[in-house]
Structure 1
Amino acid sequence: MKFRAIRVFEEGDGYVKRIVERSTEDLPEGKLLIRVEYSSLNYKDALSCMGNRGVTRSYPHTPGIDAGGVVVTSESDKFRAGDKVVVTGYDLGMNTDGGFGEYIRVPEEWAVKADTIDIRDAMIYGTAGYTAGQLVYEVLMEDLPPEAGEILVSGATGGVGSHAVKILVRLGYDVVAVVNSEAERKMALNMGAVGTINREESVDTTGKALLSQRWASVIDTVGGPFLSTAVRQVKFGGVVATCGNVAGSRIDDLTVYPFILRAVKLKGVASAYSSRRRRSIIWEKLAKEWRSPEFDKNICEVNLEGMMRAVDDMIGDKLLGRVVLKHK
């Protein structure tokens, strides 16, 4: 079968992306051939489009680390033709052709039946929403009540951060969002945040081992100096759940004191290879009790041509909100 896809090519000293026609015969091996109905844009997709070898080793390549659709053919006894499925994580869109194409072929272990969640909703969440769900879950596992105080969220207007804000607001928590512009501030407040701080205010430069206790807990999507500062500002017994390193991979100025004097917990989240049991728990919560009335806010639905432009906006740091790709 012929289908359309965004394909990234290495040309000269750079990388270019084009919409091309492909054949399902060109897809990699796997027990499930899936007709993709929806995908979404994540930072890893932008990195893949830029030729980042830490994400994608060889080109040409089709990005899209999220995909939701219908099984066309199955060589697995766990799935049948016509089953609606969601595929996130593993190697999809990184070194295996992903959801920016109208068809994918994947191992059966990568797919989850979309029994409790609508496919479009799953792609609005996508890897970003699923990761946000894991971050919130790590905080809630410590039995943190809303009255414990404010929760700080970094990268609050990005894919992961915006979902985290919406979930926490839905559950009755007071959220303070880290923002970098007036547009981001307005967006965070529209999602239900009770307040905002700018990026400069969120980073300490004194190097002190402990700072004033300010936040009940923190959800961090950026890492670097922000993460170091946040750990030193969390109240006694609080949690810092982290998943990103866009602001840096080092945690300078951090000592053991927040952990041994304030019992602060630092929890890392890696969504790509989380267990099937964890996936089931998170997806069910996202579909039901965590689904916010603000769920559809700041969602931009595009076709393949629109996704080409959205990738450029993400690379240029001009993108606000969540971009969902709808295939014809």
Structure 2
Amino acid sequence: MNTFKAIIVKEKHDQVIYGLEDVNLDSLSDGEVLIKVSYSSINYKDMLAVQKNGGVIRNYPMIPGIDLSGTIVHTTDNRYTEGQKVVVTGFAMGMSHTGGFAEYARVSGDWIVPMPVNLSLKDAMVFGTAGFTAALSIIALEEKGMDIIKNPRILVTGSTGGVGSIALQILSKIGYKNIAALVRKEHQIEVAISLGATDVILVNELGVQNKPLNKQKFDFVLDTVGGEIASVLIPQISYGGSMSMCGNAGGIKLTSTVLPFILRGINLLGIDSVNVPIKDRGYIWEKIANEWNISQTTLISEISLEELPQTIEAIKNGHHLGRTIIKY
């Protein structure tokens, strides 16, 4: 190909700007594998990538996009073949290495997961980084004792966003029956119920953090927002319970005392989806493709690269629901 379309983020006059441009292969970072991108998805981190001081992109100009699915068109890595379908999420992609918001991407062979048999290129990005993160969160909580048989009280925060909406659906599909969803606005209640929540709590019903220990309302919390909400919830986790943490849309500061940890033995479980070793990713994607596959019921919107700015603004302003995928 001579040129192809890509979103380019630039720094200009001390401002960060981005837009659709025609580029060529010289615009891509180095790597052993060239992929024709079929789909990407838009995550909270992608919104931060196009903001000034967003803390995502390390150098400009840059093609953002922290995940993609597509077909290999050229490879010097003998672990892969031309025509093979693959999925790539995380690592340095869309940060210091050109990412998925382009018709072509070039990446390290060490970042690639061969597409599971039961997952299409589209379905892989219905999940994308958000679904991968939701799966990691559920696995971490189950390793700390969350078990369907025990009918635990589970709370999912940010429940109509990317990670939260998929987490709700997976939890419901695999058999959990006591799943509360935390939402900010009343119009999100119906959405959360449709995604599998058995109860919905508005943020203003949580109260404020006025006690080091509060009534034990939840056995496990899958937190996607951080900040004040996470701080309020920590004293409400029951003895021996756990909270997974994977996001900072609500802020990066956490306020707590040691009492929930030393008197109730609760666990905070940090979830990182960026640098998960490649040897562990295949297992997770196989679960996503099979017993945890909710791609046919997920709340999704499909857009083109040209429509990206509208979705970015919706995420920035807290108006985005579910998942948005980009089709090339």
* Category of TM-score, reference length = shorter chain: over 0.9
Rounded to whole Å, the distance in 2 between the matches of 1:95 and 1:202 is 39
Which TM-score applies when normalising by structure 1? 0.94
- Give the partner amino acid of 1:119: L
Of 186-195 and 256-265, the range deviating more from structure 2: 256-265
Deviation, 1:203, is: 4.9
Closer, same or farther: CA 312–240 of 1 in aligned 2, 3 Å? same
**Unaligned 5+ residue runs, structure 2?**
none
- Indicate how the Cα distance of structure 1 residues 205 and 264 shifts in structure 2: closer, same or farther if over 3 A, else same: closer
Contact 1:41 1:64 in 2 (8 A): yes
Question: For residues 117-132 of structure 1, what are the structure 2 equivalents within 5 Å?
Answer: 117-132=119-134
C-alpha separation in 2, matches of 1:13 and 1:6: 19
Shift in Å, 1:186: 1.5
Tell me the residue number matched to 1:78. 79
Rounded Cα–Cα distance in structure 2 between residues aligned with 1:37 and 1:291: 20
Asked if the contact 2:116/2:285 (under 8 Å) is kept, the reply is no
Q: Quote the residue 1:92 is aligned against.
A: 93
Structure 1 counterpart SS, 2:204: coil
CA shift at 1:200, angstroms? 2.4
**In structure 1, what is the Cα distance between the partners aligned to 2:153 and 2:123?**
28
- 1:243-286 CA deviation, whole Å, 9 max, x = no partner? 1122222221x223222322212111111001223312211111
Alpha carbons of 1:316 and 1:224: their partners in 2 closer, same or farther (altered >3 Å)? Answer: closer
Shift of 1:13: 4.1
Structure-2 residue corresponding to 1:157: 160
Aligned counterpart, 1:262: 264
Mapping 1:211-230, distance limit 5 Å: 211-230=214-233
Letter of the 1:98 counterpart: G
Q: Does structure 1 residue 234 correspond to structure 2 residue 237? A: yes
Alpha carbons of 1:53 and 1:242: their partners in 2 closer, same or farther (altered >3 Å)? closer
SS in 2 for 1:109: helix
Q: Separation in 2 of the partners of 1:185 and 1:89?
A: 31
> Cα RMSD (Å) of the superposition?
1.6
Contact 1:203 1:226 survives alignment (8 Å)? no
Deviation at 1:88, TM superposition (A): 0.3
**Which moved further from structure 2: 174-183 or 112-121?**
112-121
1:5-154 equivalent positions in 2, closer than 5 A: 5-52=6-53, 54-116=55-117, 117-146=119-148, 147-154=150-157
Task: Give the match's secondary structure for 2:163.
Answer: helix
Aligned CA distance change for structure 1 residues 308 and 249 (closer, same or farther; 3 Å): closer
1:120, CA displacement in angstroms? 1.3
Q: 1:270 to 1:190 in 2, by over 3 A?
A: same
Indicate conservation of the 8 Å contact 2:154/2:222, yes or no.
yes
- 1:11 CA drift (Å): 2.9
Letter in 1 for 2:115: A
Structure 1: 5+ residue stretches without partners: none
Q: Are 2:41 and 2:68, in contact at CA under 8 Å, matched by a contact in 1? A: yes
Q: Secondary structure at the match of 2:40?
A: strand
Given that 2:209 and 2:231 are in contact with CA atoms closer than 8 Å, whether structure 1 keeps it comes out as no
Letter aligned with residue 319 of structure 2: K
SS in 2 for 1:98: coil
Instruction: Assess if the C-alpha contact under 8 Å between 2:94 and 2:100 holds in 1.
Output: yes
- Pairs aligned (count): 324
Deviation at 1:53, TM superposition (A): 5.2
Q: Distance in 2 between matches of 1:288 and 1:178?
A: 27
Identical pairs, percent: 39
